[in-house]
């Protein structure tokens, strides 16, 4: 899926918004597809997650029962970014 810069920004904001509660990438992908990113591939989502984690807007959160299953949640910095944009 080729995204314009505006679409990429919308995708990143959607990821941050959806990850207020920790989510596994597969569930996040399903939510994003239902929000209009229908042809978003898991590999592209992984790249965006990595980007947002590198910017310290997302962080990994492991569950106590199955720590091998990585979840992602929005950091305080990510929440502040959403609030500054009027999204949260």
Q: With 80 as the cut, is the pLDDT of residue 62 above it?
A: no
DSSP the chain: ----HHHHHHHHHHHHHHTTS-B-HHHHHHHHHHTT-TT--HHHHHHHHHHHHHTTSEEEEE-SS-TTSEEEEE-HHHHHHHHHTT--
pLDDT band at 32 (very low <50, low <70, confident <90, very high): very high
CATH class, range 5-84: mainly alpha
Q: With 80 as the cut, is the pLDDT of residue 1 above it?
A: no
- The predicted pLDDT at position 65 comes to 76
Global pTM exceeds 0.75: yes
Q: Convert the pLDDT of each residue in 35-54 to its tens digit.
A: 999 999 999 999 999 999 99
Domain locations in the chain as residue ranges: 5-84
């Amino acid at each position: 899926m080729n995204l314009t810069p505006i679409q990429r920004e919308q995708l990143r904001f959607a990821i941050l918004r959806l990850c207020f509660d920790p989510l596994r990438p597969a569930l996040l992908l399903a939510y994003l597809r239902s929000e209009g990113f229908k042809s978003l591939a898991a590999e592209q989502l992984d790249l965006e997650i990595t980007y947002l984690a590198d910017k310290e807007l997302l962080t990994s959160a492991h569950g106590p029962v199955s720590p091998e299953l990585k979840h992602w949640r929005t950091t305080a910095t990510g929440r502040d970014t959403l609030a500054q944009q009027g999204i949260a």
